[in-house]
Amino acid sequence: MAAKNSATSPKISLHQIFWQFFVVGAISFGGGIVAYLKELLVKRYRWVDNDEFIVMLSISQTMPGLNSVNIAILMGDRLRGAIGAWAATLGLLLPGAVIVLSIGLLYGLNKDHPMANHVLGGVAAAAAALLATVTWNLGERTFKKRKSLALLGLTFVLMSVVKWPLYIVLAIVLPLALYIYRPTQDHKPEQSS
């Protein structure tokens, strides 16, 4: 049950899929990996067109998991079925995994050094600032609308102030959000009863 290959693009080998995702996984320092994927896979290699990429991105955002990994799964599946999906994912994760483990090793060897806590304090402050700016940029639209801001606030309060487990928070806010954004009749005029 492999996904269909589009007739327009030539068959892309597993090796190529693995390698191109490996390149993105190796050069995307400092986040913004989805932008790298779009640049290489849509603009440079033209494996999919822009509309297809946007559909893949919205599936990736809807499903749990990291957006970049989900895009690798969908793109690999689209090009070469399930094996392609795993080749893409492995390629994307492998370089960062090796580097992150080396960093972890360095951290483990030096964490008891008297200076380590000072360096790590600086690193952690910068990482917090980075995560905050990424969140701010992603949330710009959400912060500006009253309904979505209220849902956002409720999610935050239940998670960080009330400190309920995540699955309970989701069991409360997801049905509520679905009710608020339920389909209305005027969205789909062709939906006749």
Partner 1 sequence: MMLWLQLASVFSMLSLLAVGGGSAVLPEMQSMLHQHFNFSATEFVHAYSVGQLAPGPNMLSVLIMGDMIDGLTGALIVALAFFIPSSILCLYAGRLWTRIGDTPWRHSLQQALEPISIGLMCSGVYTIAKESLVNWQSCAVALLVGLLLVKTKINPVILILGAGFIGLLGAYWAA
Footprint on residues 46-65 left by partner 1 (CB under 8 A): 55-56, 58-65
Tell me the window of 8-16, 38-46, 181-189 that interacts with partner 1 (CB under 8 A).
181-189
Using a 10 angstrom Cβ sphere, with 0-12 exposed, 13-18 middle and 19 or more buried, the burial of residue 21 is buried
Separation between Cα atoms, residue 92 and residue 26, nearest integer Å: 8
121 binds partner 1 (CB under 8 A): yes
Tell me the window of 12-20, 38-46, 161-169 that interacts with partner 1 (CB under 8 A).
161-169
93 binds partner 1 (CB under 8 A): yes
Q: Which three-class secondary structure state does DSSP give residue 192?
A: coil
Least gap, CB of 81 to partner 1 (angstroms): 10
CB 118 within 8 A of CB 45: no
Residues 129-148 that bind partner 1 (CB under 8 A): 129-135, 138-139, 141-143, 147-148
Which residues have a Cβ under 8 Å from the Cβ of 129 and sit 6 or more positions away? Answer: none
Please identify, using beta-carbon distances, which residue of 46 and 153 lies nearer to partner 1: 153
